[in-house]
C-alpha cells in the first residue's frame, strides 16, 4: 500500500496548474490528496485523474478583507480539520514559499512528516524545513526542491510532458486576469486582434465577465465568457497559440500543449512564465514598486499601461507566424 500524501495549493488557477508535473510524479509513489480551491475539480480529470481532491476556499486567500475573522467559515474549517485528521496522512507539504498559514494547517492535519519553506518561526510546525531555490527561480522550481526531498525525480522545466497540442489554427486571445492590474488595455488587444484578422488569421476573443460588455460594444459579437475552467479548456480545443495576461488561462493553455505569449505587468516573468518550451512574453515597463503583489500604487498600472500596441505588435506577429504560418505564405 502506498503512503498517503497531502498536498496544499490553496491559491489561484496558475499556481495550481504549475503543480501538475509534481502531482503526476507523486502519484507513482504516494496516494495523493490535494487540498485546493473548488475549481481543482475541473483540472482533476484532464491533468491528474489519480489525485483525490478536497475542495476548500481558504479565507486568507481572498484579495480583500482576508482577516475579517468573524466572517471566516469556522464550521467548515472545523469539519475540514476533522476530515484531515481522520485520513492519517504519512506526509503533508506545501510548495508555497514562506507561508506560515499553510504550515499551521499542515500541523493541524496530524501528518507525521510535514515539509515546507519556513518563515517567521513557522519551522515549529514542520518536521523538515526546506531551503528555497535562488531568488529568481520559477515557482515550479520550488516543487522540484520538494520532489527531491521525497526522492522523486521531477523533470526540468524544458522537459515537462505536456498534453498533445490541439493542432488547431485559431489565435486564442484571453483578455482577463485575476486582478485588474494584470490586464493589458483592452483597446490594444482589440488592435492586435484586428491586425491578425487583416492578415488572414482566425481569432477567438475570450474575456472575463466584467469585460464582456466592452467587447460587445466594440463589435466583437462572438466574444466568449466561460464560467468554468472546463468550459475554458473546451474553447481551447482548436487553438494554435494563446495570447493573454499573466493569469491562470495561460498556464492551462501551456499544459494543454499550446504555445503562449504573455503580457507581464506587476509580476516578475522569471517566476511565472507558463511552462511551455515555446512560451514567449513581453515584460511591462520598469516600476520601483515591482513586484507589487497586485497592490498598485497608481490609479492605473503604468507597467502595462505604458506598453503600446506599436511595441507589442512586432513580437506578437512574429510569435503567431512562427506557430500558425499562413497558407498563402504571407
**How confident is the model over 285-327, as pLDDT tens digits?**
988 888 887 788 887 888 898 999 999 999 999 999 999 988 7
Give the range of the structural domain holding residue 287, as residue numbers without chain letter. Answer: 170-323
pLDDT at position 329: 55
pLDDT tens per residue, range 195-228: 999 999 999 999 999 999 999 999 999 999 999 9
Domain final position from 159, 186, 217: 159
Q: Which of 139, 296, 252, 171 is nearest to 284 (CA)?
A: 296
Residue 165 in domain = no
pLDDT at position 63: 64
Residue 189 in domain = yes
pLDDT at position 303: 87
Integer CA distances (angstroms), 272 to 137, 195, 275, in order: 9, 28, 8
Q: How many CB atoms within 10 Å of residue 100?
A: 17
Task: Based on the fold, state whether residues 252 and 310 are members of the same structural domain.
Answer: yes
Over residues 170-190, mean pLDDT: 95
Residue 105 in domain = yes
pLDDT at position 292: 82
Residue 164 in domain = no
Domain final position from 95, 127, 159: 159
Residues 204 and 173: their CA atoms lie apart, in Å, by 6
Alpha helices, DSSP H, located in the chain = 13-18, 20-26, 40-47, 74-87, 100-108, 139-149, 186-198, 212-217, 229-235, 248-255, 269-272, 302-305, 309-323
Domain final position from 159, 187, 213: 159
Question: Any idea what DSSP says for residue 82?
Answer: H
Task: Based on the fold, state whether residues 122 and 192 are members of the same structural domain.
Answer: no
Residue pair 242/259 in contact by the 8 Å Cβ criterion: yes
Task: Based on the fold, state whether residues 286 and 193 are members of the same structural domain.
Answer: yes
Contacts 24+ apart (CB under 8 A), 163-168: 163/46, 163/47, 163/255, 163/256, 163/257, 164/257, 165/256, 165/257, 165/258, 165/259, 166/236, 166/237, 166/238, 166/239, 166/240, 166/256, 166/257, 166/258, 167/240, 168/237, 168/238, 168/239, 168/240
Residue 235 in domain = yes
Task: Based on the fold, state whether residues 177 and 225 are members of the same structural domain.
Answer: yes
Residue 330 in domain = no
Question: Any idea what DSSP says for residue 184?
Answer: P
Residues 186 and 198: their CA atoms lie apart, in Å, by 18
Task: Based on the fold, state whether residues 151 and 221 are members of the same structural domain.
Answer: no
Task: Based on the fold, state whether residues 133 and 270 are members of the same structural domain.
Answer: no
Residue pair 178/247 in contact by the 8 Å Cβ criterion: yes
Mean pLDDT of the chain: 92
Helices (H) and strands (E) in the chain, counts: 13, 11
pLDDT at position 268: 87
Task: Based on the fold, state whether residues 22 and 155 are members of the same structural domain.
Answer: yes
Task: Based on the fold, state whether residues 216 and 116 are members of the same structural domain.
Answer: no
Task: Based on the fold, state whether residues 152 and 96 are members of the same structural domain.
Answer: yes
- pTM across the whole model: 0.93
Q: Which of 328, 326, 304 is nearest to 317 (CA)?
A: 326
Residue 283: all three cell numbers together: 515584460
CATH number for the domain harbouring residue 12: 3.40.50.2000
pLDDT at position 330: 57
Task: Based on the fold, state whether residues 117 and 51 are members of the same structural domain.
Answer: yes
Residue 231 in domain = yes
Contact residues for 211 (Cβ-Cβ < 8 A; gap 6+): 175, 176, 186, 225
Task: Based on the fold, state whether residues 150 and 179 are members of the same structural domain.
Answer: no
* 328, pLDDT greater than 70: no
Task: Based on the fold, state whether residues 154 and 200 are members of the same structural domain.
Answer: no
Residue 329 in domain = no
Domain count, the chain: 2
Amino acid at each position: 500500500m502506498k503512503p498517503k500524501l497531502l498536498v496544499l495549493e490553496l491559491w489561484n488557477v496558475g499556481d495550481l496548474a504549475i503543480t501538475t508535473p509534481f502531482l503526476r510524479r507523486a502519484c507513482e509513489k504516494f496516494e495523493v490528496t490535494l487540498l485546493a480551491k473548488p475549481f481543482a475539480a475541473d483540472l482533476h480529470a484532464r491533468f491528474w485523474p489519480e489525485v483525490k481532491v478536497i475542495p476548500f476556499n481558504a479565507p486568507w486567500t481572498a484579495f480583500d478583507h482576508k482577516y475579517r475573522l468573524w466572517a471566516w467559515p469556522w464550521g467548515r474549517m472545523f469539519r475540514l480539520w476533522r476530515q484531515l485528521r481522520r485520513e492519517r496522512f504519512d506526509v503533508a507539504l506545501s510548495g508555497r514559499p514562506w507561508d506560515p498559514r499553510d504550515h499551521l494547517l499542515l500541523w493541524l492535519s496530524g501528518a507525521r512528516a510535514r515539509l515546507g519553506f519556513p518563515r517567521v518561526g513557522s519551522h515549529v510546525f514542520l518536521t523538515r524545513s526546506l531551503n528555497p531555490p535562488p531568488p529568481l527561480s520559477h515557482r515550479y522550481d520550488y516543487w522540484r526542491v520538494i520532489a527531491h526531498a521525497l526522492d522523486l525525480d521531477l523533470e526540468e522545466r524544458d522537459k515537462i510532458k505536456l498534453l498533445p497540442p490541439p493542432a488547431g489554427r485559431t489565435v486564442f486571445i484571453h483578455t482577463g486576469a485575476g486582478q485588474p492590474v494584470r490586464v493589458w488595455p483592452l483597446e490594444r488587444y482589440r488592435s492586435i486582434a484586428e491586425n491578425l484578422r487583416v492578415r488572414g488569421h482566425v481569432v477567438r476573443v475570450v474575456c472575463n465577465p466584467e469585460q464582456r460588455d466592452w467587447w460587445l460594444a466594440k463589435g466583437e459579437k462572438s466574444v466568449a465568457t466561460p464560467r468554468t475552467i472546463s468550459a475554458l479548456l473546451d474553447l481551447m480545443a482548436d487553438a494554435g497559440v494563446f495570447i493573454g495576461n499573466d493569469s491562470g488561462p495561460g498556464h492551462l493553455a501551456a499544459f494543454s500543449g499550446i504555445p503562449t505569449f504573455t503580457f507581464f505587468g506587476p509580476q516578475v516573468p522569471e517566476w511565472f512564465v507558463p511552462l511551455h518550451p515555446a512560451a514567449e512574453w513581453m515584460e511591462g515597463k520598469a516600476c520601483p514598486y515591482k513586484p507589487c503583489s497586485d497592490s498598485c500604487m497608481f490609479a492605473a498600472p503604468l507597467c502595462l499601461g505604458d506598453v503600446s500596441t506599436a511595441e507589442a505588435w512586432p513580437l506578437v506577429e512574429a510569435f503567431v507566424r512562427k506557430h500558425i504560418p499562413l497558407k498563402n505564405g504571407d
